[in-house]
Structure 1
Amino acid sequence: MFQRKIYSELEQHLFRKQVTVITGMRRVGKSTALRYLLGHVPHTNVLYLDFERIENRILFNQTSYNDIERGLQALGLSLSEPSVVALDEIQLVPNSPSVIKSLYDTYGIKFIVTGSSSYYLKNHFSESLAGRKQIFEMHPLDFEEFLLFKGQDVKPFQIGKMQPFLFTFYDRWRGFYEEFLQYGGFPEVVLSEQPKAKTDYLRDVLNAYIELDIKLLADFSLSDTLYKLIQLLAVRVGSRLDYSKLSSLIGENRHKMKDYLHLLEYTYFIHIVRPYTGGLDKELSKQPKFYFSDTGLLQLMGQVSSGQLFENAIANQLARLGLINYYERTTGTEIDFVLNRQQAFEVKETCTPHDLQVLTDRAKLLQLTDCQLIGRNLPANGFSDFIWGGSVW
């Protein structure tokens, strides 16, 4: 089993009474993380229930909590001793937070649960398990984890983190990074060796997302409409969200379109980048930009340009480091990303000294002195005052 970065946080929380909630898109490795944690429980009074199995859903859907307790005991769980109960795919049983609350309060059971959507978990759990849980969000692999899954020694790779371009470093890792851009970071995609197998698996992820998560969580019957919307978003990735334009193309009203887009965000399919402004009110009033949470899914859904693909990857990579915004003035002057309101980044496939000067001048408008280019390719003129994309993590 490969060690994900989030495992150390999860392991620390394993020994706290609070419910450990692991959420994220399908196939990002939530069930694997759950099994990893179960392997670190220091006793054997452990019960694992997969809610994709109907008998487990029936158990937790009973109206009598006493019957649920008896069912757990029949499955071998002792309620009179320290115990751990792991529940996989918890969104399939809407009543489960209430059951967990009762068992948590009565017996002090340590629960570890997984679910595929923040749309359900963050809102419903906040009401039912206030103060009793901590939510951990899992994402596709970052590039360092990608290399680990590829069997690479990542220690030499770590010295290049956010460092200026170095040809030796770039030359060693660029092939892996190009694969990372093309197919993304779903663990099973990364572990598949053949391009067709990778693409087929990405199609399975997309199909499961629309046919299972979306229909279950939002009761949307128009899966064809949602699929069409995702296609339209793919070719517009990195652009500002124009709700009116999308509504016109899809044939839905503007409010319904906002509901669809919020759902895509809350279920981790896309993530939103809001404008950098001096105040929250102005920030909320301006149109946000959007990016796909995985470049493999982005490639699958539309004919995106090489530049769009690279910018989307960098948006994902920077988002792991903190809050990202974009900056744009009415005159058209813009900066691709501002990280934590402190660092300005411009994304260029091939960087030039002119690009750096333009970024420096624009960053001064925000009184930012820390500004850097992020590039993908080896410049022909020997320019090296930029960060290679694979070093952003």
Structure 2
Amino acid sequence: MYNRKTFSQLLTHLPKRQVTVITGMRRVGKSTALRYLLDHVTHSNKLYLDFERIENRVLFNQQSYNDIERGLVALGLNLKQPAVLALDEIQLVPNSTSVIKSLYDTYDIKFLVTGSSSFYLKNHFSESLAGRKQIFEMWPLDFEEFVTFKGFDANRLLSERFRPFLPTYFDLWHDLYEEFIQFGGFPEVVLADTHQDKIDYLKDVLNAYIELDIKLLSDFSVSDSLYKLILLLANRVGSRIDYTKLASLTGLNRHKIKDYLHLLEYTYFIQTISPLTNGIDKEISKQPKMYFSDTGLLQVCGKVSSGALFENKIANQLQPLGKIQYFEKSAGTEIDFILNGEIAFEVKETCTPYDLKTLTDRTKQLSVGDCQLIGRYRPESGFSNFLWGGSLF
């Protein structure tokens, strides 16, 4: 089993009474994390139930809580002793949170649960399990995890994190980083042997997301419209969201487009970033920019330029580091990313001294302390005053 960064946080929470909730997009490794935690439970009074199996859904869908308790005992769980109950894919049983609350309040049970939908889990758990749970979000692999999954020593990667471009470091990791850009960070995709296997896995992830997660959260007709919208969005990553244009192309109204985009974001399919402005009114009036949560998924959803693909990857890499915004003063005067209001980043596939001067001049218009170029390729000029994308993780 490959170690994920989230595992250490999950292990810290394992002894706590609260429900441990692991959420994130389908196939990012939530079930693996659940089994990892179960392996670290020191006693044998534990039970794993996968709600993709119909018999487990039937058990939790019974009207009588007493019958549910009897079923758990029949499966080997001793409710008279401290117990651990692991429930996988709880979004498939809509009343599961009510059952968990009842059992949590009645018995000494530590719950470990996973679900594929942030939208479902955050809303239902807030209502039913207020104060009784902690949510941990899982994402596709970052580059450090990617390197580990590929069988390399990630400790060698750490030495140059966020340091200026170094040709030797670039030569060591360039090929792996290019694969990371092209195919993203879903664990199964990373471990797949062939190009075609990777594409097939990504298509399967997309299909499962629409056919299972989306249909669970909405009516049947939504999945067809949403798929068409996803294909349009793939060609617009890194651009401000034009609701009117999208409505015109899809035949849907602007309000429905906004609802669908919220659904895509709440279910981890896309991420949006707001503009950096002087006030909330201006921020609301300006349109956010949109990126896919995984560049592999982006690739199977549409033909994307090399530059847009790289910018999307950088958005993914910066996302765990804090709040990301963009800056735009007027047409042609823009900065790609502002991190935590403190540092400005401009993304260029091949960085030049002119790019750095332009970014420095634009940053002076903001109350931002620092700025950095982020590049993808080795400049022929020998210029090195930029961050290589592979050093961000």
Q: TM-score range by the shorter chain?
A: over 0.9
> Which residue does 2:143 correspond to in 1?
143
Distance 2:227 2:210 in 1: 8
Q: What is the deviation of 1:257?
A: 1.0
What residue is the counterpart of 2:104 in the other structure?
104
What does residue 62 of structure 1 align with?
Answer: 62
Take 1:107 and 1:39, find their aligned partners in 2: how far apart are those partners? Answer: 22
Question: 1:224 deviation in Å?
Answer: 2.5
Aligned to 1:45: 45
Deviation at 1:369, TM superposition (A): 3.0
Partner SS, residue 27 of structure 1: coil
Paired AA for residue 158 in structure 1: L
Match of 2:372 in 1: 372
Q: Which residue of 1 aligns with 2:92?
A: 92
Q: Which runs of 5+ in 2 are unaligned?
A: none
What are the within-5 Å matches in structure 2 for residues 312-351 of structure 1? Answer: 312-351=312-351
**In structure 2, what is the equivalent of residue 163 of structure 1?**
163
Could you tell me how far apart the structure 1 residues matched to 2:264 and 2:149 are? 28
Q: Normalising by the residue count of structure 2, what TM-score does the alignment of the two structures yield?
A: 0.99
Q: What secondary structure sits across from 1:171 in the alignment?
A: helix
What SS does structure 2 have at the residue aligned with 1:365? coil
Is contact 1:45-1:78 (8 Å) kept? yes
Residue 282 of structure 1: CA displacement? 2.2
Structure 1 equivalent of residue 238 of structure 2: 238
Residue equivalent to 1:116: 116
Q: What is the deviation of 1:108?
A: 2.5
Distance in 1 of aligned mates of 2:330 and 2:78: 65
- Tell me whether 1:264 sits opposite 2:264 in the alignment: yes
Give the 5 Å matches for 1:278-289.
Answer: 278-289=278-289
Cα deviation per residue 1:20-76 (whole Å; 9 max; x = unaligned)?
000001000000000000000011000100001111111111111111111111111
In 1, Cα distance between equivalents of 2:278 and 2:34: 42
**RMSD of equivalent CA atoms:** 0.9
Q: Give the Å deviation of 1:185.
A: 0.3
Letter paired with 2:92: L
* Residue of structure 2 in register with 1:293 after alignment: 293
Counterpart Cα distance in 1 of 2:92 and 2:223 = 19
SS of structure 2 residue aligned to 1:112: strand
Q: State the SS of the aligned residue for 1:135.
A: strand
Secondary structure at 2:221 match in 1: coil
What is residue 209 of structure 2 aligned with on the other side?
209
Aligned to 2:388: 388
Distance in 2 separating the partners of 1:372 and 1:234 = 27
Give the Cα–Cα distance (whole angstroms) in 1 for the partners of residues 374 and 341 of structure 2: 17
* 1:283 positional shift: 1.6
> How far 1:331 sits from its partner (Å)?
4.3
Amino acid in structure 1 at the alignment position of 2:114: T
**Is the 2:343–2:371 contact (alpha carbons within 8 Å) kept by the matching residues of 1?**
yes
Q: Which deviations, in whole Å up to 9, do the C-alpha atoms of 1:323-372 show, x marking residues without a partner? A: 10000013431110000110100000000011111111111111223100
Give me the whole-angstrom Cα distance separating, in 1, the residues matched to 2:334 and 2:220: 37
The residue number in structure 1 matching 2:221 is: 221
State the SS of the aligned residue for 1:31: helix
Aligned ranges for residues 23-34 of structure 1 at < 5 Å? Answer: 23-34=23-34
Q: Would you say the 8 A contact 2:119–2:263 is kept in 1?
A: yes
2:81–2:108 Cα contact (<8 Å) kept: no
Q: Report the Cα distance in structure 2 between the residues aligned to 1:138 and 1:37, rounded to whole angstroms.
A: 14
2:20 equivalent in structure 1:
20
The CA distance in 2 between the partners of 1:367 and 1:262, in whole Å, is 30
Counterpart-to-counterpart distance in 1, 2:130 and 2:332: 45
Residue aligned with 1:329, SS: strand
Contact 1:24-1:115 within 8 A present in 2 as well:
yes
Q: Is the 8 A contact 1:360 1:369 kept in 2?
A: no
Instruction: Show the counterpart of 1:173.
Output: 173
Q: Give the secondary-structure state (helix, strand or coil) at the position aligned to 2:321.
A: coil
Identical pairs, percent:
72
1:110-140 CA distance string (max 9 Å, x none): 0000000101000111000000000000000
Partner Cα separation in structure 1 for residue 301 and residue 67 of structure 2 = 47
CA distance in 1, matches of 2:376, 2:330: 29
Contact 1:140 1:294 in 2 (8 A): yes
* Structure-1 residue corresponding to 2:134: 134
CA distance in 2, matches of 1:20, 1:281: 37
Helix, strand or coil at the partner of 2:371: strand
What does residue 304 of structure 2 align with? 304
Deviation at 1:249, TM superposition (A): 0.2
| Number of aligned residue pairs | 393
- Give the whole-Å Cα distance in 1 for the aligned partners of 2:114 and 2:221: 25
For 1:153 and 1:65, locate their aligned partners in 2 and report how far apart those are by CA, in whole Å.
Answer: 49
1:300 Cα deviation from its structure 2 partner: 0.8
Q: Any idea what SS the aligned residue of 2:127 has?
A: helix
For normalisation by structure 1, the TM-score amounts to 0.99
Alpha-carbon distance between aligned partners in 2 of 1:275 and 1:149, rounded to the nearest angstrom: 35
Q: Secondary structure of 2:169's partner?
A: helix
Whole-Å separation in 2 of the counterparts to 1:265 and 1:330: 27
Q: SS where residue 70 of structure 2 aligns?
A: helix
Letter in 1 for 2:294: D
* Separation of aligned partners in 2, 1:258 and 1:280: 19
Partner of 2:360: helix, strand, or coil?
helix
